[in-house]
A and B are shown apart, each in its own frame.
Chain A
Amino acid sequence: MLNVDTKRSHLNKLADYRRGLMTEPQLRNLFLELTLRCNENCIHCGSRCGEVRAEELSLAQYHKFLREVREDMGLEHKMLCITGGEPLLRKDFFDIMAYAHQLGFNWGMTSNATLIDDSVARELANCGMGTISVSIDGLEDTHDNFRRTKGGFKKAISGIESLIRTGAFKAVQVTTVVTHESIKQLDELYRIFNDMDIDSWRVINMEPMGRAKNYPDLLLTKEDYITLFEFIRNMRMTGEPVTYGCSHYLGPEYEREVRDWYYLCTAGLYTASITANGDIIACLDIERRPELVQGNILHDRFSEVWKNKFKEFRRDLSDECSKCTDCPEKAFCHGDSFHSWDFEKKEPMLCFRDILF
Chain B
Amino acid sequence: MKKTKATALTAAMLVAAANISACGSAKNVESENNVYAQGLDETVTETTTYDPESNTDLMYCVYGPPPTTEPPSSFEEYADATTTEYDPENDAEQFFPVYGPPPMPGDAYMDGVIDANDLARMRIDYNNGKNINDFDMNFYDVNNDGVFDLEDIAVLSRFLQGDIKSLSVPDEDDDDIVTTAPPTYEDTTYTTVATLYGPPPMYYDWSN
For chain B, the bracket of interface size reads: 35 or more
Mask of A257-286 contacts with B, CB within 8 angstroms, 1/0: 101111010100111000000000000000
Q: Considering the complex, which residues of chain B in the window 30-83 have a beta carbon less than 8 Å from any beta carbon of chain A? A: 50, 52, 55, 58-66, 68
A259 vs B99: C-alpha distance in the bound complex, in angstroms?
11
| B199 (CB) vs chain A CBs: closest residue | A261
A95 at the interface (CB under 8 A from B): no
CB neighbours (8 Å) of A202 from chain B are 61, 63-64
CB distance from B196 to the nearest CB of A (A): 6
Q: Contacting A200 at CB < 8 Å: which of B13, B17, B61, B202? A: B61
CB distance from A34 to the nearest CB of B (A): 14
Q: Considering the complex, which residues of chain A in the window 226-252 have a beta carbon less than 8 Å from any beta carbon of chain B? A: 233, 236-243, 245-247
| B15 (CB) vs chain A CBs: closest residue | A237
CB neighbours (8 Å) of B61 from chain A are 108, 131, 133, 170-171, 173, 199-200, 202
Q: Contacting A9 at CB < 8 Å: which of B2, B60, B135? A: B135
B7 at the interface (CB under 8 A from A): yes
In the complex, the answer to whether A239 meets B11 with C-beta atoms within 8 Å is: yes
| A110 (CB) vs chain B CBs: closest residue | B62
CB neighbours (8 Å) of B21 from chain A are 1
In the complex, the answer to whether A77 meets B196 with C-beta atoms within 8 Å is: no
CB distance from B55 to the nearest CB of A (A): 5
In the complex, the answer to whether B194 meets A28 with C-beta atoms within 8 Å is: yes
A116 at the interface (CB under 8 A from B): no
Q: Contacting B7 at CB < 8 Å: which of A20, A77, A106, A236? A: A236
CB neighbours (8 Å) of A59 from chain B are none
In the complex, the answer to whether A2 meets B199 with C-beta atoms within 8 Å is: no
A271 vs B63: C-alpha distance in the bound complex, in angstroms?
13
Between A7, A130, A196, the greatest number of chain B beta carbons within 10 A of the residue's beta carbon is seen for: A130
Instruction: Beyond the given A17-B203, A133-B63, A133-B64, please list 12 additional residue pairs across the A-B interface where CB-CB is below 8 A.
Output: A3-B92, A104-B55, A106-B59, A108-B59, A131-B59, A200-B65, A238-B11, A240-B1, A241-B1, A260-B65, A260-B199, A266-B200
30 contacts between A and B (CB under 8 A): A1-B17, A2-B17, A2-B95, A6-B96, A6-B135, A9-B92, A10-B202, A17-B200, A17-B204, A76-B191, A79-B58, A106-B58, A108-B196, A130-B58, A133-B63, A133-B64, A171-B60, A173-B61, A196-B1, A201-B1, A202-B63, A238-B11, A240-B7, A241-B7, A246-B198, A257-B14, A260-B6, A260-B68, A262-B199, A271-B197
- Interface, chain B (partner A; CB < 8 A): 1-4, 6-8, 10-11, 13-15, 17-18, 21, 50, 52, 55, 58-66, 68, 91-92, 95-96, 98-100, 133, 135, 191-204, 206-207
- Interface, chain A (partner B; CB < 8 A): 1-3, 5-7, 9-10, 13-14, 16-21, 28-29, 75-79, 81, 104-106, 108-110, 130-133, 170-171, 173, 175, 193-194, 196-202, 233, 236-243, 245-247, 256-257, 259-262, 264, 266, 269-271
